[in-house]
């Protein structure tokens, strides 16, 4: 064992076993310790030196000590010698004698008072007194500890029974959807039985939960699992997916929702189609798009967002679909299908605008900071349906910028993928960073001239600028976004 280990052991021994409470006491003159033999890793203990002990504070004493190892042949190997400050166990000991009955790791320690008293040292273990005959050894505080243990056990049992009784009285039936707020609209869904779903692996983590790849019967599905505190987001997403006319090729296909309860822990599951390519953001990090692929993504994204924003009248016995604002539109919430078309997902913050009804007192400053429109960052939203829809359009312009930045038809080399404003505010901007850049300085992501050299990319650059206009009223509306779809179809033939 190295001397460093001995040193650490000595410090531990001193802290745990040797040092007793410090007490002030007068020091006899003949016991005053001023010098001790000294050795350690730097000074060989075969050739110790004399060292002066530091002057102790009033009421404290100096001592000398020896730390040595007891070898198998009963010889001693000195590890350390030196001065030792104020230990009551060392008081009035003129000789350095270790009293430990059993050496700890074959290490022994002794201390003494008086100049150079640690020149000589010895081990004189104190004998262990035998137990008294016919008298059992009883721990002094056994009755008290027994009473405490029994009392704690009884309290724990009472608490568990009380919790179980309260939970069983309060908890609804297993597959019933509880509601803390009577005003919440519970989707009219059947929870009579849970689907035989096997979770495989976590694919993503978001604001409201983790998304799992899973299997349902013979098909792959995605399962978004919400913790109990995010139940409202789970219910909001269901409400959006269950609206009339929401079965659209560019909106993520909804399969079902379930409540899972196990060991008094409740999770809420949202089951949808699974898309192996993942989000547009993740795809663009590792891949580029040619012109045809870019047009397909832009066109289907435009169709999906337009479908969300527009009202669909009642037809074929189905009720009308109201207008919907996503409120967290970004490349992470646009999923890429295997055929390189897209669908829009994640409606946990979405707002539904029923005809003739107000927007209510919803919180306006929600979403992802990087994609927040200037009026959201300022907290100056006009609480009308059209105002919320134009907030989505601002974010759509930023996603268009991400797409164009990874298109291969631009002149020059393709840059590494970057998030919008990453160059200006970094990867983790604060709200204040975004307010300063977007609101005060009116900064937008840079559009290089190399993008303008291609007629199709140039048209998309004009579109993104119209989308992220500082004046919300000047932005493209959902109905005008139809022109983007028409434009991309035309340019695809160029």
Active site residues: 328
- 3-class secondary structure, 180: coil
Count Cβ atoms below 10 Å from residue 411 Cβ, excluding itself: 12
Helix (H) or strand (E) segment spanning residue 145? helix 142-170
Catalogue the long-range contacts made by 164-171 (C-beta closer than 8 Å, 24 or more residues apart): 167/264
CB-neighbour burial class of residue 298 (10 A; exposed 0-12, middle 13-18, buried 19+) = buried
Cα–Cα–Cα angle for 309, 311, 312, nearest 5°?
125
Catalogue the long-range contacts made by 3-12 (C-beta closer than 8 Å, 24 or more residues apart): 3/40, 3/41, 3/79, 3/80, 4/41, 6/67, 6/69, 6/79, 6/80, 6/107, 7/40, 7/41, 7/79, 7/80, 9/104, 9/105, 9/107, 10/67, 10/79, 10/80, 10/107, 10/109
Both tokens of residue 493? 């033939």
**Residue 326: alpha-carbon gap to chain centroid:** 25
Q: Work out whether the CA dihedral 243, 246, 252, 258 comes out positive or negative.
A: positive
Half-sphere exposure of 486 (CA within 13 A, CB side): 5
Is the distance from CB of 470 to CB of 408 less than 8 angstroms? no
| DSSP state string for 86-139 | --GGGTT--SEEE--SS-BTTEEEEEE-STTTTSSEEE-PPPPPPPPTT-----
Both tokens of residue 11? 């410090």
- Please enumerate in sequence order all residues whose Cβ is within 8 A of that of 413, keeping only pairs 6 or more positions apart, or say none: none
* Closest to 258 measured CA to CA, from 234, 239, 236, 274: 234
- Please enumerate in sequence order all residues whose Cβ is within 8 A of that of 113, keeping only pairs 6 or more positions apart, or say none: 27, 31, 33, 61, 62, 63, 64, 90, 91, 92, 93, 94
Q: What is the DSSP letter of 315?
A: B
* Closest to 489 measured CA to CA, from 326, 362, 289, 303: 303
Angle (deg, nearest 10), helices 482-491 and 455-467: 170
Both tokens of residue 404? 């164009």
């Amino acid at each position: 064992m190295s001397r460093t280990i001995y040193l650490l052991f000595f410090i531990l021994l001193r802290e745990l076993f040797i040092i007793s409470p410090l007490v002030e006491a007068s020091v006899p003159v003949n016991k005053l310790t001023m010098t001790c033999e000294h050795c350690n890793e730097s000074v060989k203990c075969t050739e110790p030196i004399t060292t002066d002990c530091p002057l102790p504070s009033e009421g404290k004493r100096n001592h000398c000590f020896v730390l040595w190892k007891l070898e198998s042949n009963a010889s001693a190997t000195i590890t350390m010698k030196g001065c030792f400050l104020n230990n009551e166990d060392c008081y009035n000991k003129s000789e350095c004698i270790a009293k430990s009955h059993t050496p700890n790791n074959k290490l022994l320690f002794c201390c003494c008072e008086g100049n150079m008293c640690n020149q000589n040292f010895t081990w004189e273990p104190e004998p262990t007194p035998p137990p008294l005959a016919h008298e059992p050894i009883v721990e002094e505080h056994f009755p008290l500890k027994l009473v405490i243990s029994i009392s704690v056990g009884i309290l724990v049992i009472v608490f568990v029974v009380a919790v179980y009784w309260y939970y069983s009285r309060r908890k609804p039936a297993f597959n019933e959807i509880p509601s803390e707020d009577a005003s919440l609209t519970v989707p009219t869904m059947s929870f009579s039985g849970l689907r035989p779903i096997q979770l495989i692996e976590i694919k993503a983590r978001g604001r409201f939960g983790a998304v799992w790849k899973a299997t349902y019967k013979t098909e792959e599905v995605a399962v978004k699992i919400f913790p109990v505190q995010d139940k409202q987001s789970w219910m909001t997403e269901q409400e959006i997916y269950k609206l009339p006319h929401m079965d659209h090729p560019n909106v993520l296909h909804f399969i079902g929702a379930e409540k899972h309860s196990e060991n008094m822990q409740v999770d809420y599951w949202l089951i949808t189609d699974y898309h192996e390519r993942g989000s547009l953001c993740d795809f663009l990090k590792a891949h580029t798009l040619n012109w045809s692929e870019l047009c397909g993504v832009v066109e289907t994204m435009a169709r999906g967002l337009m479908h969300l924003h527009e009202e669909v009248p009642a037809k074929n016995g189905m009720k009308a679909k109201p207008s919907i604002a996503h409120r967290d539109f970004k490349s992470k919430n646009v999923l890429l299908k295997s055929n390189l078309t897209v669908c829009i997902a994640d409606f946990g913050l979405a707002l539904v605008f029923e005809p003739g009804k107000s927007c209510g007192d919803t919180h306006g400053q929600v979403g992802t900071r990087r994609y927040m429109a200037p009026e959201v960052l300022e907290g100056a939203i006009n609480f009308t349906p059209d105002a919320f829809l134009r907030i989505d359009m601002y974010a759509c312009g930023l996603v268009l910028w991400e797409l164009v930045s990874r298109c291969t038809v631009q002149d020059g080399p393709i840059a590494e993928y970057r998030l919008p404003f990453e160059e200006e505010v970094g990867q983790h901007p604060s709200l204040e960073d975004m307010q300063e850049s977007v609101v005060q300085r009116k900064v937008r992501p840079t559009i290089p001239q190399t993008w303008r050299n291609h007629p199709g990319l140039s048209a998309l650059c004009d579109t993104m600028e119209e989308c992220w206009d500082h004046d919300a009223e000047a932005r493209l509306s959902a109905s005008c976004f139809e022109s983007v779809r028409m434009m991309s179809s035309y340019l695809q033939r160029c």
